[in-house]
Structure 1
Amino acid sequence: MTGGVRGAWRAPRTVLALVVPPLWSNRVLPALELPLRGRTAANVAFAGLYSGVFDGRPNWLSASGFRWGLGGAAAVIAGYVVALSIPAVRRLPLEVAERVPETSTLEWIALHIPVGTVLAEEAVFRGTLDPLLDDELGPAAPVVGALDFGVWHVHPARAAGDPVAVTVAATTLAGLVFGWLRRRSGSATAPALLHLAINAGGALAPVAARWIENRR
């Protein structure tokens, strides 16, 4: 009887696990109208609750996760360094508008990106949702999980004034890469480190470009 009840609950539970993250990011969190630090704290609290309810398996301390993650992060950092060394490319970040007027660049990179964005999102998607989808959906799991990650970014794109369709497409593609890394390494640490390198590098690029141009 217990096995039958558990089996009957699987499909609704999977649907709920898919619906809750975009609902949180696009409806609930914006409705709270929190300042940046409040949003970071709320995202971490949500990630912890979600992981607990849906049996998260992030495997944060995996040696394989660190190896794959550091390798991916090193490649991203090298890409930023090369881009900043090319004058025509280096000037592009100077056109990027200020996206975080509520805080300093240091606080943004040291706290809000690694904790409010990377830790929270990787705990939800690669640490919890992807393993659940792998169990329930099989080969379709990577695409479904990545699409859910893309939809998570609808409201953030609107708030930043970015094209929603382009943002969803780009973050869905990123979700496929992050999901592949999690499955390859067996840990959410690998995509988390790559995610951190991409986001922190993107935040630092305008600062670095401005510093280089001023020295010239």
Structure 2
Amino acid sequence: MKNRLWLVVVGIMGLVIAAPVAWYLASPLFINKVVEEEFPVQIPNAEELAQMPAEKRKEMEAEALEVAAKMPDKVMDEAMPEVVPDNQPVLVLQGQFKDADSFHKGSGQAAIYQLADGSHVLRFEDFSATNGPDLHVILSSHPAPTSSEEVMRGYLDLGSLKGNIGSQNYTIPAGTDVAQFKSVVIYCQPFHVVFATALLSSQ
């Protein structure tokens, strides 16, 4: 009788301990976390350009004319390159998220920008992924990692995923050579599982 009572007590204690752990690991699978962050530097659209002070517009027009003057005097099939003001971010690498498998899914755009001060930021747009426990955002030198070994083959951990839905920014440490990275990975730390990847390219 005492042994049976002891087993019941031990079983209850085990459930009390295991329940929070089980909730931590399983709850993200059916709870979405939405994040909507603005881009670190605002890029002016056509309407904002129209409202820009005349002096600033003239500066941009002068830059455009300078670029045009350096172009050869022949008919070009391609449109004249868009002039990006010096204080605007420059797109360095970009890619589209794809599913890791039939259960771990991801979509949206990943892009690395160089800001005016020379720093870099990773930006997610229209992002959505299967949620999970302790997901991290990782830059990997592997173009399409599917295993923990491939993810960790020359990688940079940018920290915890802020949300499994929505636009968000991740600061890349100063001095990082972003050209070495071939993909962005949404990675589950506890289970060492890839949830989604985005192949990066300069195109």
- TM-score per shorter chain, which class? under 0.3
TM norm structure 2: 0.27
- Which structure shows the bigger proportion of residues in strand conformation? 2
- Which structure shows the bigger proportion of residues in helix conformation? 1
Pair member with larger Rg? 2
